[in-house]
Homo-oligomer: A and B are copies of this chain.
Amino acid sequence: MPKLRVHNFAMSLDGYAAGPHQDINHPLGVGGERLHEWVFSTAAGRRMVGGDGGLSGIDNDFLERADHGIGATIMGRNMFGPIRGPWTNEKWKGWWGENPPYHHPVFVLTRYPRAPFSMEGGTTFNFVTEGIEAALDQAMDAAAGADVRLGGGAATVQAYLRAGLVDHLHVAMVPILLGSGERLFDHLDGGPAGMALVEFAASDGVAHAVFERTA
């Protein structure tokens, strides 16, 4: 059975997946970029932004796994862009430029319809207004037997955890204190039931914990 997988979901020690005051200048909230510094020191992280060099090791290994066997991605609207409310025009095409690092169909959860469009490199953006289960169905169809990756933000991962639909959850805990912002593990009505730890490993700067769904 194809799986729904969360990879490299960065969280501060105090539990925040983004800092406070998210806006177009602070897509990860104030201070939130500190959650992702480890990514850009690795070879996989450098490649993702078109560079070379970078470190191998545990962090790099976890980053590389995230693309293996993935045929589609689901994300929340806030991960796609800073715009709230109805789409007033169709100029915004994501944070990632003309050639986004997906190279497969991406399904964006939103309450406001928008026509799908294609980018360079094989990424298409599709907008799903019928909720998380419909998005999962559409992404699974598009992935055609491969797994589906669930991006962020925190609220989106929470919604799928609450529904018991996440098969693989990899959290990258970064030992910083953001103080406030958006928590990953919140509003879960008693927590993500049925998730068992299958792997725990740490680099010099990140603790990686991987859970899989057992029930």
Contacts and interface: CB of A to CB of B under 8 A. Distances in A.
A119 to B, nearest CB: 35
A209 B206 CA distance: 10
A192 interface: yes
A190 B185 contact: no
Interface string A3-27: 0000000000111000000000000
B202 A207 contact: yes
Given A13-B171, A185-B15, A209-B13, A179 B192 contact: yes
A192 to B, nearest CB: 6
Contacts of A69: none
B175 A179 contact: no
Contacts of A183: 15
